[in-house]
Amino acid sequence: MSAGGLTVGMETAPAAKRGRKFSPMVYLFAVVAGLLVLSLVRVLAGATDLTSAGTVQAAITAAVPIAMAALAGLWSERSGVINIGLEGMMVLGTFGAGYAGYQWGPWAGVAFGLLLGIFGGVLHAIATVTFGVDHIISGVAINLLAPAAALFLSKLYFADAPGGGQKQSPRIEDAAKVSVPGLSGVLGDLEAKHWFFVSDLAGILRGLLTEVSLLSILAALLIIGTAYVLWRTPFGLRLRSCGEAPIAAESLGVNVYKYKYYAVIGSGAFAGLGGAFLAVSSGQFRDGQTGGRGFIGLAAMIFGNWRPAGLATGSGLFGYTDALALRGSTAVHALLLLLGIALIVVAVIQFRGGHNVLSGVAAAIGVLFGWWYFSSDEVPPELVGAAPYVVTLLVLALASQRLRIPRAIGEVYRRGEGK
């Protein structure tokens, strides 16, 4: 695809180097195979929470803020601007949702959280694009300033509010939830029978199709919309060109400053939206509520190779393991066996790709987790809460290969440099 002759060296690598594109049937086979493994582990471990509707719903709730942070990073970094200030922008979003949400309702909270996220994005854009401040330094500054500002404003506005406190807002009403009519009862009956595969499929579908927050649907639409805008429109091509070869893009008439501003401000909006979702779904703003989700979002974005579908997969992985951790030690113990199988699969894939050392490491860790599962009855309570982070980091670190980082990311751009 081109826009006014704009190619700037993008997407010109031979197909073999970009990696094979699989047909939809291959992806469908992978999904079915994964569900079969889940069902088998559920039967062996007796852990019904692995595929229950409640776990799926909790996973979606946990994954959406991560996905919004990852999407924020995608927009910014595709334009060439590193944004590690996502955590701070999410904090601004949580406060905005807490401030407006308890007074005017959840959607007002979402809107105000998004606006405060935009404010953080504007600050980052001014520092990095206009003044050429190092992207990392600017992001760290936002991460330091935003929590302090949110805590100060919390003490100022929430300390005397009914139900509030110095470090938390009053309660916020949750956003509306929707269900596909007529499915809940049928799928619930099938799930309760605990049949192999059938009950697991019913539980997952019930979690995906009943009591789904409108905010979760909005997040899914934003991920799909991003894929279309950035990869199917002239606007998206120009924006991505700024992260690949800004001087070449400028020579073809692209206003690089403008597109970088669009991207970084949009990044702030997505991060603020993720923070607002976190506050609204939990019922209030709390100090320290983000818990590093901005950084996990960055990891999910890198795992996803700076692409929407990949970052959604990485975010879903964290959300699922986080949901299992909330279910307690039994579910996390079953997760050990599931993780062991997953790492063996990763080892096979890496071996076929010629990454022998990485394959050996993945296989060794997979065998270790399998041994841990069969030699124990439960996971120590102290490790249950850490399970989502450990699992996510292991899989992201061992499965991420052939990453294609934007070529001009982190570089300071000045208009007219190519002349």
Q: Tell me how far apart the alpha carbons of residues 343 and 366 are, in angstroms, rounded to a whole number.
A: 5
Q: What is the pLDDT of residue 22?
A: 67
The domains of the chain are located at 15-399
Average pLDDT, the chain: 90
Q: Residue 309 above 60 pLDDT?
A: yes
CATH code for the part of the protein at 15-399 = 1.10.3470
Q: What is the pLDDT of residue 400?
A: 62
Reported as a single tens digit per residue, the pLDDT across 371-403 is 999 999 888 877 887 877 787 777 777 766 677
Query: pTM for the whole thing?
Result: 0.92
Q: Tell me how far apart the alpha carbons of residues 30 and 34 are, in angstroms, rounded to a whole number.
A: 6
Per-residue pLDDT, averaged over 390-418, amounts to: 79
Q: Which of 104-108, 333-337, 381-385 has the highest mean pLDDT?
A: 104-108
Q: What is the pLDDT of residue 418?
A: 57
Give CA 389 to chain center in angstroms: 13
Q: Residue 101 is encoded by which pair of tokens?
A: 């949400």
Q: Tell me how far apart the alpha carbons of residues 404 and 164 are, in angstroms, rounded to a whole number.
A: 46
Reported as a single tens digit per residue, the pLDDT across 46-98 is 889 999 999 999 999 999 999 999 999 999 999 999 999 999 999 999 999 99
Question: What burial letters (b/e) apply to 44-71, b meaning 16+ CB within 10 Å?
Answer: ebebbbbbbbbbbbbbbbbbbbbbbbbb
Provide the percentage of residues in the chain whose pLDDT is more than 90: 70
Q: What is the pLDDT of residue 8?
A: 44
Residue with tokens 């800004």: 246
Q: What is the pLDDT of residue 274?
A: 97
Neighbours of 115 (CB within 10 A): 17
Reported as a single tens digit per residue, the pLDDT across 186-205 is 999 999 999 999 999 999 99
Q: What is the pLDDT of residue 276?
A: 97
Q: Tell me how far apart the alpha carbons of residues 217 and 404 are, in angstroms, rounded to a whole number.
A: 29
Q: Tell me how far apart the alpha carbons of residues 77 and 228 are, in angstroms, rounded to a whole number.
A: 17
Q: Tell me how far apart the alpha carbons of residues 68 and 269 are, in angstroms, rounded to a whole number.
A: 9
Beta strands in 81-218 (DSSP E): 177-178, 212-213
Q: What is the pLDDT of residue 389?
A: 79
Reported as a single tens digit per residue, the pLDDT across 231-277 is 999 999 999 999 999 999 999 999 999 999 999 999 999 999 999 99
Reported as a single tens digit per residue, the pLDDT across 109-137 is 999 999 999 999 999 999 999 999 999 99
Q: Tell me how far apart the alpha carbons of residues 36 and 49 are, in angstroms, rounded to a whole number.
A: 15
Q: Residue 21 above 70 pLDDT?
A: no
Q: Residue 14 above 60 pLDDT?
A: no
Q: Residue 382 is encoded by which pair of tokens?
A: 């102290």
